[in-house]
Amino acid sequence: MKLNTLLVAAALASTSLSSCVFNTAEEHQLKYTHTTLVDGDAYAFFRQVGSIAPYEVSYAEHVATVGNAQAKDAAAKAAKFFSDILPQMDTLATKYHVDFPILGTEKFTGAGHENIAVEPNAAPVVVNDSTIADSAAPVLLQHAEVYSDQEYLSHIQHQVALIKEQFSRLSRNTNKDLRDFAQAQTETIAQLFTAVGGKEDAHAHH
């Protein structure tokens, strides 16, 4: 009886140790080789949305101090949406081994200054459980010397349209968690797109 107990205890200890070693090795693999558990479309989503969101939140803070009523309203709604999704994206990124927040992304620093942000379209091609190289290089974003409400509205319409497209793609992803996350945001994004003055493409569904 005692022998059996010892054998069971030893087996449990071995299993626990193996699990610990495996988890540590997995963490090291993620840290040093940038292994991710999402596909290329999902990785591009995290890169693009993760680059745009924090920038737009900080840009909205600037608009709140200088914009007209229309621009302030659009900025406030955009900032709320982006602020709401970032923690959810961070949770999903942690679960599926995506480096997040996106390295190299900076916040809006004011009109006339150079702002560095990760080029969202430069995401590498990725396949499930593969080793990827994060090759996206930062790009400079220039803003006019003098703030313009119309410029901001055009800017945020373009950015929300990009986000809308990324969420649409993610809503068809094979990963259920990512798909559910994207689908849950569909109506909110559509409302935001309309709120910032976006117009649906008449040919988009043909």
Q: Are residues 160 and 186 both part of a single domain?
A: yes
Please give the residue that has the higher pLDDT: either 46 or 101. Answer: 46
Q: Whole domain around residue 187: which residue ranges? A: 38-195
Q: 97 with 30: CB under 8 angstroms?
A: yes
In this model, does residue 30 exceed pLDDT 60? no
Tell me if 200 is assigned to some domain.
Answer: no
In this model, does residue 101 exceed pLDDT 50? yes
Q: Are residues 73 and 173 both part of a single domain?
A: yes
Tell me if 167 is assigned to some domain.
Answer: yes
pLDDT in tens, 144-166: 557 899 999 999 999 999 999 99
Residue 156 phi/psi, 5-degree rounding, is -70, -30
Q: 118 with 95: CB under 8 angstroms?
A: no
The domain total for the chain is 2
Q: What is the pLDDT of residue 132?
A: 44
Tell me if 181 is assigned to some domain.
Answer: yes
Q: Are residues 3 and 62 both part of a single domain?
A: no
Q: Are residues 79 and 95 both part of a single domain?
A: yes
Structure tokens of 173?
């992803």
Q: What is the pLDDT of residue 42?
A: 94
SS3 of residue 128 by DSSP: coil
Band the pLDDT of 136: cuts 50, 70, 90.
very low
pLDDT in tens, 32-72: 445 789 999 999 999 999 999 999 999 999 999 999 999 99
CA distances from 133 to 36, 47, 93, 170 (A): 11, 13, 17, 21
